[in-house]
Chain A
Amino acid sequence: MITSLAEAIKANVKDGDTVALEGFTHLIPFAAGHEIIRQGRRDLTLVRMTPDVLYDQLIGMGVARKLIFSWGGNPGVGSLHRFRDAVEHDWPQPLELEEHSHAGMANRYVAGASGLPFAVLRGYSGTDLPAHTKNVARIACPFTGEMLTAVAALQPDVTIIHAQRADRQGNVQLWGITGVQREAVLAAERAVVTVEEIVDRLEPLPGAVVLPAWVLSAVVEVPGGAHPSYAHGYSTRDNAFYQAWDSISRDRSQFLSWMQDQVLGVADSQLEGSSA
């Protein structure tokens, strides 16, 4: 249950898997994503409502074959240059897209977590989005006849999230902006959680989400594992890095050299918490 980052990724992320690394600006599992890159996984279908800098890195390093998403940008800064280069110029390889609205993605996870084949919402009406995916359909309410939208359940092979803490049994607690993480974990076949710290006892906190150990596959202590995103109560969002990423990622060779220095060249044994 409680293991090293390298072991957790090796055991739970296989080539060709559908992988969701979730986090809504807050608690983005950067360290785990970097380990996927170091282990050279290929042909992944990446899933995330808001692919941001971490997904730019994964896509630019050729990890992904397909992206299922609803908004791909660097919040408050601008474009994701590696994502755009993949879509516009097939670099480093073609990237198949399946895109939705946030409400659609959130409900697809809810259906997945609920063990249902689809979810129902008022959404997508009149937009060009349904024409490009088979996972959105019109459906009549059986009680009123109102026409609504159905979205197919999303059930990743593995969901990876970052949280504030876990206890020694592997029960996990997260708070602040908790996004769609609970649903993404419960929708997935397997789930890996990195945490800021492992503690003897989880102190109850108002509004916190608790994920019992028995719905998780692996828990890893990785302090700072969300950086440049943040962990409420432990760190603040490194907004300067998000702004710097715009120029780092604009040029292919500069991007590759940054990844070599900051990700590939860092052995797992140098990472904090890897021996936990």
Chain B
Amino acid sequence: MSSLSWTPNEIMTIAAARQLADADVCFVGIGLPSTAANVARRTHAPNLVLIYESGTIGAKPRTLPLSIGDGELATTADAVVSVPEIFNYWLQAGRVDVGFLGAAEIDRGGDINTTVIGPYDHPQVRLPGAGGAPEIAASCGRVIVVIRQSARTFVDRVAFRTSLGERVSTVITDLGELRPNPAGELLLTRVHPGVDVATVRAATGWGLTVSDALDETAPPTTEELEVLRKLELTQGQVV
């Protein structure tokens, strides 16, 4: 192929992977964050330490896990510890640089909802709930959120505050990247190639401020796309 093409999900995952540095210790949520973290480890960040909340520390999965507790994670980990230990000794004690989370809703302050849409006692949609997110969001050095962007997912105020946005450093979406200003409000800092600002504004449920230093995401490289596509084909497979 002379010119590369990619889907919105692919550039989102690749842009998220680029947020991780080689020596980072990363607490990984399942789904998009796990895919992105595994792309990073196979490209620019081979020494990235992946921690899954099942207690697997330093997992180096050869296939993409479907759950946070696939056997592949335990088999390839440097250490497997209990769930109380992973949360108390490793996360709470401040040993993790980056928390990598997904969300159902995020608001202008970076607060995350993964609990309910609608009133708590009579929700329109019951979501899975908190899981490890509240303490990941509060205890990691910085927090990266990966979420598809729409007026439904980017809301002025989350319906339920499951996790705090205080430590959110970057939000990566299928349209671009947002970062908080000093007051903690998320600003648009990057758009993906071919995405215009009006599209991002229309997919945001508050009056979005665009950074003065708005930049464009570098297109995915051939290597990044190959690694991602190969990885996704392996999801849930047993080596």
A interface with B by C-beta (< 8 Å): 24-26, 49-50, 69-73, 75-77, 79-80, 83-84, 87-88, 99-103, 106-107, 109-110, 121-129, 132, 176-180, 182-183, 207, 230, 232, 236-237, 239-240, 242-243
Q: Contacts A100-B130, A107-B88 given; 19 further ones with Cβ under 8 A?
A: A26-B74, A49-B83, A71-B132, A75-B67, A84-B126, A88-B125, A99-B115, A101-B131, A101-B133, A106-B84, A121-B135, A123-B92, A127-B163, A128-B120, A128-B160, A128-B161, A177-B56, A178-B82, A239-B237
B interface with A by C-beta (< 8 Å): 30-31, 53-56, 65-71, 73-74, 80, 82-84, 87-88, 91-92, 115, 120, 123-126, 128-135, 138-139, 160-164, 166, 235-238
Q: Which residues of B contact A100 (CB under 8 A)?
A: 130
A132 to B161, CA, bound (A): 12
| A123-B138 CB under 8 A given contacts A132-B120, A179-B82 | yes
Q: Which residues of A contact B131 (CB under 8 A)?
A: 50, 70-71, 101-102
- Contact yes or no, B126 A88, CB < 8 A: yes
- Contact yes or no, A69 B129, CB < 8 A: yes
- Contact yes or no, A25 B82, CB < 8 A: no
A68 to B216, CA, bound (A): 45
Partner of B82, one of A70, A71, A180: A180
Q: Which residues of A contact B31 (CB under 8 A)?
A: 76
| A75-B69 CB under 8 A given contacts A84-B126, A87-B126, A123-B134 | yes
| A127-B164 CB under 8 A given contacts A179-B54, A230-B71 | yes
A101 to B133, CA, bound (A): 7
| A236-B160 CB under 8 A given contacts A26-B54, A122-B92 | no
Q: Which residues of A contact B74 (CB under 8 A)?
A: 26, 176-177, 232
Question: Nearest chain A CB to B148's CB is how many angstroms away?
Answer: 14
Q: Which residues of B contact A182 (CB under 8 A)?
A: 82
Question: Nearest chain B CB to A99's CB is how many angstroms away?
Answer: 5
Q: Which residues of A contact B123 (CB under 8 A)?
A: 87-88
A187 to B95, CA, bound (A): 28
**Closest A residue by C-beta to B67:** A75
**Closest B residue by C-beta to A25:** B69
